[in-house]
Amino acid sequence: MAPTVKRIGVLTAGGDCPGLNAVIRAVVKDACFNGLEVLGIEDGFLGLIEDRLRPLSQDHVSNILTQGGTILGSSNKANPLRFATGTNADGTPRIEDVSARVIATIQKHGLDCIVVIGGDGSMSIAHELTEKARSGGVELRFVGVPKTIDNDLMGTEITFGHATAVATATDALDKLHSTAASHHRVMVVEVMGRNAGWIALSAGLASGSDAILIPEIPFHLETVCDMVISRGRRGKRFSIICVAEGAAPVGEQQKIAKIDPTSPDPVRLGGIAEWLASAVEQETRIESRYVVLGHVQRGGTPVAQDRVLATSLGFRAMELLRDSRFGRMVAVQGGQLTDVAIDQVAGRQRKVPLDHPMLAAARAVYTTFGE
């Protein structure tokens, strides 16, 4: 262990995700066994802005492995470099750079390194804070752990939380088969994923969905309707469509549910399932319904795969810290634990490659992507 590292912080930023507590547990237990003090930072980077930190011991992380969510809390609106501090005279949010508060909090508590558990936005913040502090002669140290149900982080082939979200979505799609068959309906199920189709692709393939619509492949409404009609002619009087929230018809924009100007990621996608169910019913004259799974995909007990992955990533983060390899994010490549520079991950999204084997497997069992 580098002699300068005596006290570390740990935070969970961005959206919640199954497996966050498993990482916290791994980090805290490893640190305690190696004589390090650990401070838990509440509500992500907001805890650094507002100076809300608390000691974490082995007792604090006992029995949290199976819990969903995060015992530290989280926030997806707390980018210190672009933070909403109030309202301007014209009613718009007042956005300010409060990174000086963060730096002061880190120095006040004597944090030698912070383990940031988050997605691309969180890694961007860690990188920008490092650069901002360095320009003022202050050295901040971060180690990243990749978190997102969307599985869209660059540099790693898998993120914890994804497997649980896929299992939740698959279970919902499985259950909808029976009601769709009973009422001879088209069921359109909207899943999360932002601009990447990993959840839709995996859950759609696992559930045997008849159509999987993802952001990477703009779809033709006519192709989707032809699939529904063709199934009816073969005696299959129902169809299941799994659609990612970021999917869009050819030549059209993504459906946006709302814009939140106070958030670092202001666009909230949503509405494609409702639009698609209405359009399919109008074109095919077959009764159609839609279901938006929403935040249920983020919750619940992490599946075994995510618990193992989260624990392994937490351990690897502590290895990086022990080796004084700061500014790195833990990653999985070729099925092996490794690490990449945080600045290679910041602000980037990993989408489904158009030559991915899962796409070929889905087409082989006559699943349409609406092409």
pTM, entire model: 0.93
DSSP-derived letter for residue 353 is: P
* Lowest mean pLDDT across 112-116, 140-144, 148-152, 267-271: 267-271
Looking at residue 156, its pLDDT comes to: 96
Question: Of 228, 242, 255, whose CA–CA distance to 188 is shortest?
Answer: 242
Residue pLDDT, tens place only, 20-60: 999 999 999 999 999 999 999 999 999 999 999 999 999 99
Looking at residue 2, its pLDDT comes to: 46
Domains of the chain with bracketed CATH = 7-159+302-345 (3.40.50.450), 164-299 (3.40.50.460)
Cα–Cα distances in Å, from 232 out to 213, 225, 281?
A: 20, 11, 13
DSSP-derived letter for residue 297 is: G
How many CB atoms are located within 10 Å of the residue 82 CB? 17
Residue pLDDT, tens place only, 326-350: 999 999 999 999 999 999 988 789 9
Q: Which residues are catalytic?
A: 150
